[in-house]
Amino acid sequence: MNKTEYQKAWLFVIPVFILVAFNAAVPLMTVVNYSFQETFGNNVFTWEGTRWFKQILQSDRFHAALGRQFLFTGIILFIQIPLGIFIALTMPKEGIGVSVCLVLMSMPLLIPWNVVGAMWNIFALPEIGFLGHTLNDLGFDYNFTQQTGDAWFTTVLMDVWHWTSLVVLLSYAGLRSIQPAYYQAAEIDGASRWAVFRYIELPKMKKVLTIAILLRFMDSFMIYTEPFVLTGGGPGNATAFLSIDLVKMALGQFDLGPAAAMSLIYFFIVLLVCWVFYNLMMRNEEQS
């Protein structure tokens, strides 16, 4: 859409600008402040320069948490995106089934995140949970509170349960926008199912899939409440992702300086990845 140049449009944006700046600017400055200083309470601060940044960037603990975070985000993107597309392709296109699917599939998205954690906790507990009980009955030695592998399996399964529907809904919206004429043309040409997917459906879903990857990346990279309630970051530190580790440091040990430095590094990584995605998306939009 060609836009008119109109500087007064800023007036329209001011309410949003004020509300967001009010929330973002002051707290972010506080974090920046802490990241350069040391405090022993009583509002006494001493200047520390870049010491905390160096400390965090070199600490094994941060590297481990970052590694776990990238592994987790990688795994869930690798599962959720293809699975979401697959389910969207098999969904009914008309009739009552559409509403039923959409409503039921959206359910997990609207459950408070700590309830998701608690629900999966009682669902997966070895003695009383359906999942844990069944797996143990089948002969698996399953206990997510004590075994690292099981904890990861449960956390990933929970996230797949929680968020795959988002990818399904986005892909479905993309598929619905394809005109029937495209399919008819493909049929006349005798195109295979795979060719239809590869040359008609996938290109049409490109835009929504970029949004899906962007949202899933952001949210999985910030994940806190669900694993915190489910495993508490345990066993040991096995599922302590970046946010969990950060809160532990800031509120548990009250190491404000290092925690603030870590926050900024953390935020910077998210920004960097999202910036790349955002530019890709905007380029897509300009092309179409």
Partner 1 sequence: MKKYKWLVPTIYILFLMLPIYWLLNMSFKTTTEIINTYSLWPQKFTFENYITIFTDSTWYTGYLNSLYYVVMNTVLSVAAALPAAYAFSRYKFLGDKHLFFWLLTNRMAPPAVFALPFFQFYSSINLFDTHVAVALSHCLFNIPLAVWILEGFISAVPKELDETAYVDGYKFWRFFFRIFIPTITAGIGITMFFCFMFSWVELLLAKTLTAVAAKPIAATMTRTVSTSGYELGLLAAAGSLTIIPGAVVIYFVRNYIAKGFALGRV
Tell me if 274 contacts partner 1 by CB under 8 A: yes
Task: State the binding string over 211-230 for partner 1 (x if CB under 8 A, else -).
Answer: x------x--xx-xx---x-
CA distances from residue 267 to 129, 169, 181, 201, 281 in whole angstroms, order as listed:
36, 28, 45, 35, 21
Considering the rule CB under 8 A, would residue 169 count as an interface residue with partner 1?
Answer: yes
CA distance 163 to 153: 15
Cα 135 from Cα 115, distance rounded (Å): 23
Angle at 148 between CA 143 and CA 150, to 5 degrees: 45
Q: Is 90 in the site for partner 1 (CB under 8 A)?
A: yes
- Quick one: which of 128, 185, 195, 276 contacts partner 1 (CB under 8 A)? 128
- Applying CB under 8 A, among 36, 207, 213, 257 the residue interacting with partner 1 is 207
Residue 22 sits in the site that holds partner 1 (CB under 8 A): yes
* Six token digits for residue 42: 């009583």
Q: Does 195 bind partner 1 (CB under 8 A)?
A: no
Residue 161 engages partner 1 in binding (rule: CB under 8 A): yes
Q: Which stretch binds partner 1 (CB under 8 A): 72-80, 90-98, 140-148, 179-187?
A: 90-98
**Cβ proximity to partner 1, 123 vs 152, nearer residue:** 123
Distance CA(195)–CA(42), nearest Å, equals 68
Q: How many residues bind partner 1 (CB under 8 A)?
A: 96
Any long-range contacts for 188-191 (C-beta under 8 Å, 24+ apart)?
none
Residue 197's contacts (CB-CB under 8 Å, 6 or more residues apart) are 89
Who contacts 9 (Cβ-Cβ below 8 Å, separation ≥6)?
none
**In the complex, what is the shortest distance from the CB of residue 59 to partner 1, in angstroms, rounded to a whole number?**
18
Terminal CA-to-CA distance of the chain, rounded, Å?
11
Report 34-63 residues binding partner 1 (CB under 8 A): none
- Please give the Cα distance from 163 to 221 (Å, whole number): 13
Among 76, 85, 166, 240, binds partner 1 (CB under 8 A): 166
Which helix H or strand E contains 39, and what residues bound it? Answer: strand 37-39
User: Smallest gap, in angstroms, from Cβ of residue 205 to partner 1?
Assistant: 10
Among 27, 67, 236, 252, binds partner 1 (CB under 8 A): 27
Instruction: Please report where in the chains the tokens 């795994």 appear, as a residue.
Output: 75
- Does residue number 268 form part of the binding site for partner 1 (CB under 8 A)? no
Span from 5-13, 35-43, 53-61, 143-151 in contact with partner 1 (CB under 8 A): 5-13
- Which of 44, 96, 110, 138 contacts partner 1 by CB under 8 A? 110
Burial 240-258 (b: 16+ CB within 10 A, else e): bbbbbbbebbbeeeebbbb
The number of C-alpha atoms within 13 Å of 245 and in the hemisphere containing its C-beta is 25
Residues 241-260 that bind partner 1 (CB under 8 A): 242-244, 246-247, 250-251, 256, 259
Name which position in 56, 81, 85, 105 contacts partner 1 (CB under 8 A): 105
- Residue 206 in the binding site for partner 1 (CB under 8 A): no
